[in-house]
Structure 1
Amino acid sequence: MASLARQVRMLRAQRGMTRKQLAAQSGVSLPYLARVEAGTGNVSLAVLHKLAEALNVGVETLVTEHTAHNGDLLILIEYLRQQPADVLSRLRRQIVAPGAGDARQTGQRIALIGLRGAGKSTLGPQLAKAMGAPFIELDKEVEREAGIAIGEVITLYGQAAMRRIERQCIERIVAGHEHVVLATGGGIVSEAPTYERVLRAFRTVWLRARPDVHFQRVMQQNDARIATEALRNEALEHIHRMLDARESLYRLADITLDTSDLTPDAALASLKARLGPAKAA
């Protein structure tokens, strides 16, 4: 039960979901979910299926602890699942052969990942202008595709539907743009199939910041969701939980840039200096 409780808490945090949101989307009562996350409730197979569906994962993910903690393993498993038998055979031989290499092609697709407040919407347009490439915000593409606000997509249709639309948008961007700067939503790393595609098709940059910096930047956006002191404390704790849950996945990015103490101009200069050639699909 302790392992399941850790898994549910971790997966919920990776997706930026509150306990109340998970309860509403899964149909599991809030008190029951609290007991599950505390490791004190008896969990039926039906409840496992409800939670797995709401979190958009397989039931096996809930009962296999290491998949939520080891980012490299998560992405490798997803990649291997998509390969035909002959490719799997070749990869197996390459892995066990000493000195086997994995040369990567280069291109000009850049994907910015990280929590809200890291600087994606600030640095993205500036970087795109410097590259002579379009700047695309994935959340806006999802909203355009769905015809409603992204929060409403999740509320009305759930995580699974939102992630399917997100993946469709990414595939369309990859097909239509050889050169592009893409700002992704913070939770994209929690969806292994989509994140694996982004890692293959783009050069990825994790824009990170200290939790207090994330919080201050969100505060500057006059977000009504943190209008009171109690809500602000809850929001800061939420940022801490999300960073802890997602860090191993964010670290899979090609480049990590801490924007905490950098001006936008300094962050852009540092990013441009570090990018170099970028990889393509």
Structure 2
Amino acid sequence: DLFRILKGIVDSYFILRRFKPQVVFSTGGFVSVPVSIAARIMGIPVVIHEQTSSIGLANKIASYFASKIATSFTSSIPFFPSHKVVHTGQPIRKELFTGSKEECYKLFKLNIKLPIIYVTGGSQGSHKINTTVREIVSDLLKYCNIIHQCGRTQGHNDFEELQNFRMKLPKNLQNRYLLKDFIQSDELKHILSGSALLIGRAGAGTVNEALALRIPSIFIPLPFATRNEQYHNAKILKDLGGAEIIEEKDLEPDLLKERIISLLLDTQRREKMAKSLESDSKENATELLIQLILEARKS
């Protein structure tokens, strides 16, 4: 309410006066609005980074008080004043650009003659994705290797059940199906570099990794995300030509299998999808964002 916002501005004023920052950097959320207003009153430059494709109300309000606005996606640009906005992309860890396709095959002892699919439900995993993939794994393994990060889904024993399922596969297929509950960062860089296709949710992290490393993807957005955020994230890559979307309400084993096999068998189409992501892909996003903050400090 208005009283809490006013109190937040006053509290922010005294905090900023105590810390004396040269720049305020915000990634959104309603707690950022009073801080941005207080900083503007005090003459402290404010830099906002909009990390999703669907602009949030907090960043919309804060944009009026910002000196510069950075965006992860070009689709966010029209929502902000043109003289303030800069497309920097989404900073991701530099190490993710240091992976090796060859090392991926070697590290996980995969069949080098077959492409790799990376399936991920995000850090927590997705029971819906896990159970759907389980139904089609045997058929898919005729065409590819699968690295499946299934997580530890709350209320389910997906990891244990998938492990038991894997052990019942023929030995040659077992070796093509790598099952992990969690992927370490030193593994992820090789997995992303080695993947011919990504299947997963459409959180900002996953989408930006697929974009930065130009991985053709099939996204299954989480339907309960705020403002349907995951769908909008996925649609950015779909509109660029680098991804397909299957909404969870439509997700069926046969549909997912058909989409995956169609892409696996069409190398030219996958290459075209990867190429289409170049326009929004920013390997130097971190440097661009730092530069923007430093420029705001000098203004």
TM-score, normalised to structure 2, is 0.38
Structure with bigger helix share is: 1
Structure with bigger strand share is: 2
TM-score, normalised to structure 1, is 0.39
Rg larger for: 2
